Amino acid sequence: MKNIAGIPENGKKRVVIIGGGFAGLKLAKSLKKSDFQIVLIDKNNYHQFQPLFYQVATAGLEPSAISFPLRKAFQNQKDIHFRIASLEKVDVAKQVIHTDIGQLNYDYLALAVGADTNYFGNKNIQRHAIPMKSLGEAINLRNTILTNFENALNETDEEAIDRLLNVVIVGGGPTGTELAGALAEMKKYILPKDYPELDFSRMKIYLLEAASKVLNGYSDASSVKGKEYLERLGVEVMTDTFVKDYDGQSVVLADGKTIATDTLIWAAGIKGNPVNGLGTEVVSRGGRLKVNAYNLVDNHSNIYAIGDIALMSTEKYKNGHPQVAQVAIQQADLLAKNLKRKERGAPLTAFKYWDKGSLATVGRNLAVADLPFVSFQGFFAWVLWLFVHLMAILGVKNRLFVFINWAWSYLTYDQSLRLLIKPKKDKEERNTYEDLAPH
């Protein structure tokens, strides 16, 4: 296999980072003024702000507003190189990675490959359900929902109409809760204006959660209030509910009951993206890689894992830290400092997670906030959620666009992004787009 072209051997030690998410991007940015050569590899040429995928899926934001070009983040940085590629294998003995565009040697390898949807081995659910772990999947969900409404207009069979209108969301964590709330607000404020011929009193939005409460992991007060907010918006919340099967038209629950729907959204779990070549002994529950207190992968001397893919067992987090952005960012920041310390021969610092709190929004003026010393719900929690997420988005222009969209939606009870942008097949069976898409 040929070497990846255009990356020089300049005498500096090379840090190869796989993944441009929160962890990978933060690590690359933290190392940009170091004495390392940095190579960042990702399947896309942009960073995705995952916490707002659900707003793309519900036509609240355009995809480009929560995306940021990775190359733009490193303009004029001569020792940082970016390539679009997929990791195929790590050759530990030779310290080489193999990708679909070539191979590359490394001195340090940082795996920030993130996680994907976990269907827990259920092939039918994997085949028919809709995930939401990427921008492409969020756009697909938006297309599916809007197409269902269009199809319902032309349908005469009453049972088919109900299936097209009903939406079932599996997973009562922040993603499922926020998505359910956004869909409920669409049903209340927007869809009756777009589709006056449809009776939206027939549309049911179900949120199914296997645990005894939604927002499991939040404070009891926030969980109770989150459920109350959802029910106030008309969402049918079902806790202690396990999904057994789904055939594309009917959700089968563990107790034998069924729910008719053409739209099952799966937000019930994630698993680490696999990395070939490291050995099965370093892979733990959920596909995560076992690491020590310095994010060094077990049984390896120069391979690190950070973010969602890393499982660091501590006294407080015996099953690993939460798979959230703040953990990824803090691990990446510390790893950058430790790599610099290692080169100087200085002592390394063990990772200790600083939990800044958890936020979740359910709808307009409805949110919950669990901060280190206080929990509160309602309007002020919603304002805090808006501010924190707005400031976390990369790019001043993106923040401005998001703010304008949010302000417009708040003032008008409307959105203007309900576009069906679908791929089509050309004569050579390649995917092209009928209209200009954001990506």
> Which residues are designated catalytic?
178
**Among the listed residues 257, 266, 286, the one whose alpha carbon sits nearest the alpha carbon of residue 172:** 266
**What's the chain's Rg over C-alpha atoms?**
23
Reported as type and span, the H/E element at residue 175 is: helix 174-185
CA angle 15, 20, 26 (to 5 degrees): 70
Q: Which helix (H) or strand (E) holds 30?
A: helix 22-30
Closest by CA to 244, choosing from 119, 87, 391, is 119
Q: Say how far apart CA 391 and CA 387 lie, in whole Å.
A: 6
Environment class of 63 (CB within 10 Å of its CB; exposed 0-12, middle 13-18, buried 19+): buried
115: its two tokens? 């996680």
Which letter, b or e, does each residue of 229-263 get, where b requires 16 or more Cβ atoms within 10 Å of its Cβ? bbeebbbebbbebebeebeeeebeeeeeeebbbbb
- Check: CB of residue 27 under 8 Å from CB of residue 383: no
